[in-house]
Every structure is written in C-alpha cells, then in structure tokens.
Amino acid sequence: MYIRLNTKRGLSAILAAALLWGSPALVLPQTAAAAPSAASSSAPAFAVPKLTKEYGLFLKEKYGIEVGDAWTRGQYAAALNAIAAGAAPSAEKAIVLTGRTTERLKALEAVSLALKAAELEELAFTYSANKAKSALAKLKLGWKADAFATDKAKKLAAAVDAGLLPSDFYAEAKSDGPASAALATTLLGKALEARGQYKHYLGYTTDADILVKLGDAYRTSDIIQAPELRQVVDEALKQNLVTGYNLKDGRYDANFIDSLSIVYGHSDFKHALQLVGLLRSEKIEAKVQFEPKTSAFIYLKEWGDPGVSDLYEVVRIENGNYIQYAKEYDLAFEFASAEDKARFDRIILTYAKKNADDQPGLLYGSWWQPLYYSPTKLDNYKEISNNKIAAGQHYAQSFSLKERSAAVTEGFKKLNPAFEVENYDFWVDGPFYNYLQGESR
C-alpha cells in the first residue's frame, strides 16, 4: 500500500560531464557551432522508429538530455559519461576522445563510443577479420578485405550482433556521415538497456503470454525480510507513528517514464490477472512490471489467532498484538498515451471499486478503497507524501497526508538517526486519499 517513485537524474551529472569535455550545452546539442556546413553529408532520411522516440522521452525525463539535430563529439561523450557514471563521472569511467571535441560526431564513432558505454567493447576484440566481414555482410559496406581486420570493423560488427545498432540505421553506418539525432538517441538508449538502467517490465497488457509471466513472477516472489529496516519501521508501528508500511526491493522497480505511468497495489493475485484482462478489454496497451511488495500493519489480539499462511507472517509484540507482514504486489503500468493514463481512473472506479456489499460487475477481490498513484498530477487525484528509508537494495516506505509527513520524518530520525529519510509528494486516487483520512469505505 506504499510507493517508491524513481528519483530522476539531476542535471548536475550532465553539467559535470559537459565541463569534463568542454561542452557548454546542457540541452544537447542544437548549438550554432555544431550546425553542419552546406558541404556536410546528411544521414539517409527515414521514419524515426517508435523505440527511438521512447528513448528520447526517457533521456529527457530521467537525465535531462534534450536531443537536438546536431551532435558534437564532446556533447555525445558527455551524455554517455552521465549514463555510465550515474552521477558526476569519474576519470576511470570517462569516455576518452582524441582530437577536437567540438567537431561533428560521425556515425561510426557514435557506435564505437556507445559500445564502450554499454560495456561491450571487449566483445569486439574477439572478432577475427572473417567473423567481422560475415557479421557486416548485411550492411553492404563495399570495404576492401583488409578493412575488416581493423578495430573499427570489429566494433561495428559487435554492435550489429549485440543489437546495439538496429537495422534501421545500417544505411547511416555505411555512409559514416554526421550522426543523426535518431542514431545518437538510439545508441544512448541501447547503452542504458545494456547497463540495466532503462525500463524493466515483463511485457505488454496485450501480449499473448503476459498472464503466464505475471504468474511466474508472483509465484517466485517471497515476503521481504530486510531486518535492518524492519527494526525501525516496526517500532514506528508500535508507537502509532504510522499505521502501516511497505517493504520493496529496488531491483524490481519499473523505472518507467513518469508522465505515462501509474502504479496499482493489491494483495490478491487473482485480482491482478483480472485487472490485466480488463485493460485488454478496454483496448489499453501498456507495459507491465510486477514489483513484489510486503505490507506490514498491526494485527489486534481481539481479532483472534492469526494462524499460519504462505501469504503472511506474524510476530507477537509486547502488548499482545501482532505485526503482520503480508505478501502483496504493485503492478506498474506505462501507457501508450496520456489519454490512456487518464482513462485508468474511470476504469478502476467502474469495475474495481467496491461501493456496496455483494456488488455485481466488479473484479474479484475489489477493495472499498483501491490504491493507485501517479508521479505526475492528474485530474481527480489528490497529492500526498511518501516517507522512505533505504538499506542496500531494499527500502521501507509509508504514505501519509502531506501535513503528517514532517512528523513521520522526525519520528524515523529519532528511531535511528543513521537512516536518511527521503520525502516526496505524488498523486493518489480519491478513494485511497479518503482512506488516509480515516474512511474505511
């Protein structure tokens, strides 16, 4: 029932990399100095692939990189350094260039630098001349035989075989003119993918096997332990500082584009299967990621013996009550459009929001107060706060009304000053906002 939103990369990483390479632009690149001359050859014109557009939006939202029409060598290296470092780039991880960094970036150099950033460079040096020639046959380069023994050929061959250079860009690689915005954007996106820094998802709501993948993900998920975090947030429960919290594992975070994403939380997996089927029936195609989650709350002793289940664990506390740790999940969705994201609220309120006992026409296990939220503002959603502490790949978080956030933060700090408390605001559906105000229905 609690959220972790992805923290965006700050512009400081881009600035540090830009200073390293002597590039003055934070908006990449679109500078007068980088404009091609009339004599410059242009890349072959073609329709920009859909995935390239997705990469561009991701780079803008997560890294602050605006992709323009003309790239200098220094600007491209700065972008790759920001990706590779994840913060201010170090000398060890920096892309090394020779010559002028203000020169236009060429297509094959862009491929070579991206191969290094994707941590695939050593693969290239396993290629013999014959293997490189075979891998590059589809590009119809027209090179002489000895050219395939060069490092340039081996790196290009490795990029082709590893999928770093899609077939849409073979003609551009063959001409080796100034790198187009589409090529540079795609290579940056592919480098992110190779490093595990792009989106993570099982598939699309419309995939034929998506329910199978969801089932496998659920069955292999377990109750999250994270004892170091539990010690703090369990004490917060005992002191009524919070009424509940979540434990999650950051390695499963979807890392979707904020403006197109929503996260939906629930406890019953049958509900998840039906929800995906509902979205399919409503003609919504969205990326889907399964994020395991453990929710903790106080189980009162007067409710009786909590029993034993694979779906929860209980620990008895000093006053005779229990803390129950329940196996739950979040489904993260990235929609194809802002319109589909906006439609999600109406769909849930119609088919997955309980308003009466024995109400017909609802998904199995629908809640009185369903939980779903967006990192960006939406009509009919309410702004609340998240209060989070982390240890390693795990994090604990508790939602609160905005006016309660400062008290929760202060309470966490008193319980264990060693933990840094992260706070941020986001937007939650109306029914769950009512739940935070004490309304059970």
How far is residue 43's CA from residue 110's CA, in Å, rounded to a whole number? 13
pLDDT at 100: 79
The answer to whether 310 and 264 have CB atoms below 8 angstroms apart is: no
Mean pLDDT, all residues of the chain: 88
pLDDT digits (tens, 9 = 90+) for 67-117: 778 899 999 999 998 888 763 334 345 566 776 788 999 999 999 999 999
pLDDT of residue 37: 34
**Domain termination residue (choose one: 149, 171, 194):** 194
Q: 278 and 425 share a domain? A: yes
pLDDT-derived band at 66, boundaries 50, 70, 90: confident
pLDDT tens digit string along 163-211? 999 999 999 999 999 999 999 999 999 999 999 999 999 999 999 999 9
* Number of domains observed in the structure of the chain: 2
**Is residue 2, in this structure, part of any structural domain at all?**
no
Residue 216's domain comprises 203-436
Average pLDDT over residues 40-55: 68
Secondary structure (H, E, C), 354-419: CCCCCCCCCCCCCECCCEEEECCCCCCEEEEEEEEEEECCEEEEEEECHHHHHHHHHHHHHHCCCC
Residue 142 lies in a domain: no
Residues 207 and 92 reside in one and the same domain:
no
* Co-location of 226 and 177 in the same domain: no
For the chain, percent of residues with pLDDT exceeding 90: 80
Q: What share of the chain has pLDDT > 70, as a percent?
A: 86
The verdict on whether omega for the bond into residue 29 sits within 30 degrees of 0, i.e. cis, is yes
Quick: pLDDT tens for 384-413: 999 999 999 999 999 999 999 999 999 999
Q: How confident is the model at residue 440 (pLDDT cuts 50, 70, 90)?
A: confident
Task: Examine residue 136 and state whether it is found in any structural domain, yes or no.
Answer: no
344-358 per-position pLDDT tens digit: 999 999 999 999 999
Residues 291, 174, single domain; the answer is no
Give yes or no: residues 276 and 410 share one domain: yes
- In terms of domains, do 227 and 178 share one? no
Within this chain, do residues 177 and 236 fall inside the same structural domain, yes or no?
no
The pLDDT of residue 113 is: 96
Of 194, 217, 238, the one marking the end of a domain is 194
Residue 150: inside a domain? no
Same domain, yes or no: 240 and 114: no
* Contact between 169 and 186 (Cβ < 8 Å): yes
Does 310 share its domain with 364?
A: yes
**pTM reported for the whole predicted model:** 0.86
